[in-house]
A = this chain, B = another copy of it.
Amino acid sequence: MHSLRFTAETSSDGVVERDFTVGEVPGVLWSPVSGPGRAPLVLMGHGGGTHKKWPAMSGRAHRFVTDCGFHVAVIDAPGHGDRPRTAHDEAEIAALYRARAAGEPEGPVVVRYNAHLAERAVPEWQATLDALQELPEIGPDGPVGYFGLNMATAIGVPLTAADPRIRAAVFGLHWPDALAEAASRITVPVEFMLQWDDEHIPRESGLALFDAFASKEKTLRANAGRHKELPRFEVGSAVRFFARHLGRAVAPAA
């Protein structure tokens, strides 16, 4: 088992940002500046083609830390951010660009490649969680959530199905094809985001993935708009969802 090694630390606006590695995998942990005792942890996955410090990641992390006092960890997915690409990664990315250039649906390539990435990423997330839980400010028994859309849903669904430490999860914006079976083994509370006019993911496909979760408490949040037009207020909904299920109050809205 790899332990966690911090490699850099900065802070701004009451949030401490620490880069870390667990074995070969680089990550970042955002935490409250102060505060005694332990706090819940949200694992956050980034989307395809981006990385652990993409603005959407750091922005959401700051909301979670500031509003709820959570820790938030993001790691680079295989072939993303500071990590090398394999020949297989390069071939799949080239296939995706070919499909786009030809005006063909992205779905078949994305579904297949994301399923491959998930096989590599799930054990990495579990090793990262093992290491994070050795930190005194997180601890071995604290509540853990998972938040990931797009590619991070492809990784997060099998991760959440496999790891009972994850007690609540926010997913969305993905096809059901490779995920419905794992989703049917998930029983923790789920919030699921879908774009009603998604030009890549047919509406019925998104609804089918939401339907597949076995969770007794699950909420679909479908907004008018295209694939990349998820409204910013949905981050606030995720904040309140995790506050409910990981056991924290939400700070006053700005």
Contact = CB atoms under 8 A, between A and B. Distances in A.
Interface string A68-99: 00000000000000000000000000000000
A202 to B, nearest CB: 13
Interface string A206-240: 01001100011111111110000001010011001
B233 A240 contact: yes
Q: How many copies are assembled?
A: 2
Given A196-B220, A216-B224, A217-B223, 14 more contacts: A196-B210, A196-B218, A217-B224, A217-B231, A218-B224, A219-B223, A220-B220, A221-B221, A233-B240, A236-B240, A237-B237, A240-B253, A249-B253, A251-B252
17 contacts: A196-B211, A215-B224, A217-B223, A218-B223, A218-B224, A219-B222, A219-B223, A219-B224, A220-B221, A220-B222, A222-B222, A233-B244, A237-B237, A240-B253, A249-B253, A251-B252, A252-B253
Interface residues on A, range: 20 to 34
A77 B251 CA distance: 39
Interface of A: 196, 207, 210-211, 215-224, 231, 233, 236-237, 240, 244, 249-253
